[in-house]
Amino acid sequence: MTSGADSGTRRYLVLLEEDSSAAAVSTFASVADLHPASTADVLGTTAANLLSAPDGLLLHELGVAVVTAAADQADALTRAAAGPGPLALVEPERTVHAYAAPAVEPDDAVDETTFTWGLQALGAPESAATGKGIRVAVLDTGVVVDHPDLAGRTLVTNSFVDGEQVDDEHGHGTHCVGTACGPRTPENGRGYGVAHEAEIYAGKVLSNAGSGTDGGILSGIQWAISNRCAVVSMSLGAATQPGDPHSRIFETVASRALRQGTLIVAAAGNESRRAEGHIAPVGHPANCPSILAVGAIDVHRAIADFSCGTVDPGSAVDLAGPGVDVYSSWTLPERYNTISGTSMATPHVAGAAALAAQLHGARGWELWARLSQSARRLPLPSTDVGAGLVQAP
């Protein structure tokens, strides 16, 4: 099993060898007396309800199972994964959270009367692309489905949190949806959405309290892939320590997603305190090499104090986005909010990816490469900002 993970949920992630779901069902039963439900047996839109099944859920399309197991059952699965057969790897499930950053004093260095400073930094208002026809999945605390700024938009939703509807009572998810895909000309205030004509797929993988699990995230990723989303935006994660390995299961899932044309973009994390000399490593799951990890800069193009950095080889920050004092949609009746975090930088990158996907027809690794090649180089270490500040095509 992988160190650095927690097993407080009593659930485990089990990676299957490719195209071995049927054989894995028999192995679960014979080795550990487990009988997880399978998404192969139900419609994709109802699969979320099975995550809380007694023995867990086999995400057929991903080749991953999320099983509820006692310690002896988990040990039996681990032994089976060490030998020949359909099971490849076992990891304890982690608890994840929406990334929140300390409050930052407002900075009026840029006129935001018409567009947010983030849109201006990306050059989004000058881009001919709008994201039209591109599906963007935002996996977070859900979305305010009746937000006035999203009226008339293609909005597909699903909840992967047991007992909670997709409607966002936290605000974090609605803020991220707004930055990635919100309007350029809202009824009130400035434009704040990067891919303002993209099709929005909002998956609730974090509760209204802002927390969730690996199993919910993986369920949301499968949902996004099955709906042919070109981009998945995840402003969430769990802190890591220097030297912690990335999740080999999430890495395999992200690699499989790229092969199927879905790019996963995730927040690097907010655990740094740079003013105190502390740079924290990229968090889970953004530390996976096949997930595009996003750091945050401020309006002056300086690295945000809280933004995690490249501490371990192979767990690198890949790009940077605007992440300090970011204005976007929020819960009602407030409707809007200005907050900070790598959570806010991530949907800027996801929105730019949707624009590039529309303009160039790029998907998967090609889309990643185009974002990296077109990024604006910054006078900052690549360990902090990767290839630089993401730009709209």
Alpha helical stretches, state H, 84-171 = 117-122
Query: Tokens 């018409």 correspond to what residue?
Result: 114
Catalytic-role residue among 38, 247, 343, 384: 343
Name the active-site residue from 140, 168, 298, 325.
Answer: 140
Residue 348 among the catalytic residues: no
SS3 content of the chain, % helix, strand, coil (to 5): 30, 25, 45
Q: CA–CA separation, 181 vs 150, rounded Å?
A: 9
Condensed to tens digits (0 to 9), the pLDDT of residues 370-393 reads: 999 999 999 999 999 999 999 999
Q: What is the pLDDT of residue 1?
A: 36
CA 88 to chain centre: 24
- Cβ-contact 266, 234 below 8 angstroms: yes
Name the token pair of 381: 């270490």
- For residues 319 and 388, the answer to whether their CB atoms sit within 8 Å is yes
Catalytic-residue membership of 211: no
Catalytic residue among 172, 196, 246, 348: 172
pLDDT, residue 107, reads 72
Please measure the distance between the N-terminal and C-terminal CA atoms of the chain and give it in whole angstroms: 42
Annotation says 315 is catalytic: no
pLDDT in tens, the chain (393 residues): 333 445 467 899 999 998 898 899 999 999 999 999 998 876 544 555 677 788 999 999 899 999 999 999 999 999 999 999 999 999 999 999 998 776 666 677 789 999 999 999 999 999 999 999 999 999 999 999 999 999 999 999 999 999 999 999 999 999 999 999 999 999 889 999 999 999 999 999 999 999 999 999 999 999 999 999 999 999 999 999 999 999 999 999 999 999 999 999 999 999 999 999 999 999 999 999 999 999 999 999 999 999 999 999 889 999 999 999 999 999 999 999 999 999 999 999 999 999 999 999 999 999 999 999 999 999 999 999 999 999 999
Q: How far apart are CA 230 and CA 210, in angstroms?
A: 25
Structure token pair of residue 229: 């989303």
Q: Which domains occur in the chain, in start order?
A: 11-93 (no CATH), 97-385 (3.40.50.200)
Residues in the chain: 393
Q: Label the pairing between strands 199-204 and 155-159.
A: parallel
What pTM value is reported for the model? Answer: 0.95
With H, G, I as helix, E, B as strand and everything else as coil, classify residue 11.
strand
The three-state secondary structure class of 78 is helix
Q: Please report, for residues 172, 305, 387, the alpha-carbon distance to residue 340 in angstroms, rounded to integers and kept in the order given.
A: 11, 11, 21
**What number of CA atoms fall less than 13 Å from residue 204's CA on the CB side?**
27
| Neighbour-count burial of 152, counting CB atoms closer than 10 A to its CB (0-12 exposed, 13-18 middle, 19+ buried) | exposed
Q: Which residue's structure tokens are 């092969």?
A: 259
Q: Where are the alpha helices (DSSP H) in the chain?
A: 21-32, 71-82, 117-122, 172-181, 214-226, 248-259, 342-360, 364-374, 382-385
275: its two tokens:
């003013």
Please tell me the predicted confidence (pLDDT) of residue 14: 97
Check residue 265 and give its pLDDT: 98
Instruction: Provide the pLDDT for residue 190.
Output: 95
